[in-house]
Amino acid sequence: MGPKMALGLLADIWISPADKRLGRELKEWALYREKRMAKSDVCQHSYREILVDPDVLRNFYLTNFEPVDFEKRDELLDLTEQLNDAIKEIIRTKLTSRQSEVVQQIHFEKKTQMEVAYKLQLCQTTVHKILSGNIDYFAGKKRYGGAYKKIKKLCVADDKINSIINRIEELKAELADF
């Protein structure tokens, strides 16, 4: 056996197949990085900063550059939040405890009817009836009861909610005309 053959055997003994694979992967990674760096140097874009008055930028959408009245948009967001709070208050105070619990889990906790039914140990159809009411097939499919119907009826009768809705519609009309 010559000296080269002996070194080859020693190299095979001391370097495991996993180490050889790792070395090959490192070489491939290095080649990939070289190609990537060369490509990214070609694709680099240069940007230039332009000074613009913030008031000018504040009055434009980012997508289609239409002018915007941010005070009205902020008022619209505040009114929407007030409307949500008023409806939540009706749900907490005016519905039965079971209706309130089901509506909160479905709409605020984003659970499905099946998940609510499992948690409350009910059938899914019972949860549906709590929300939508029951149908009397003998009276011509008349629907009675249900949390949604009750919430709608209470919201229509509430002056605060009606004033918020009217103001929201006015603001939307003003923003559409703007």
Question: What's the whole-number mean pLDDT along residues 42-57?
Answer: 61
Q: Which pTM value belongs to this model? A: 0.58
Q: For the chain, how long is the longest CA-to-CA vector?
A: 105
- Detail the DSSP E strand segments found in the chain: 134-136, 142-144
As a whole number of angstroms, the distance between CA 67 and CA 73 comes to 12
pLDDT per position as a tens digit, 93-151: 999 999 999 999 999 899 999 999 999 999 999 999 999 988 888 877 777 889 999 99
Are 91 and 169 members of one domain? yes
Evaluate whether residue 13 is within a structural domain. yes
Query: Does residue 75 sit in the same domain as residue 139?
Result: yes
Q: Do 130 and 156 lie in a common domain? A: yes
Per the structure, the count of domains in the chain is: 2
- Looking at per-residue pLDDT, the higher value among 58 and 90 belongs to 90
pLDDT tens digits, 27-45: 666 666 666 555 445 455 5
Tell me which of 18-32, 126-140, 157-171 is least confident: 18-32
Residue 123 lies in a domain: yes
pLDDT at 35 (0 to 100): 60
Per-residue pLDDT band at 162 (split at 50, 70, 90): very high
pLDDT at 7 over 90: no
Q: Say whether both 19 and 77 belong to one domain.
A: no
Q: How far apart are CA 86 and CA 160, in angstroms?
A: 8
Domain ranges, residue 170: 54-177
Indicate whether 39 and 120 sit together in one domain.
no
Mean pLDDT across the chain: 76
User: In angstroms, rounded to a whole number, what is the distance separating the alpha carbons of residues 86 and 90?
Assistant: 6
Q: Are 163 and 89 contained in the same domain? A: yes
Give a yes or no: residue 49 inside a domain.
no
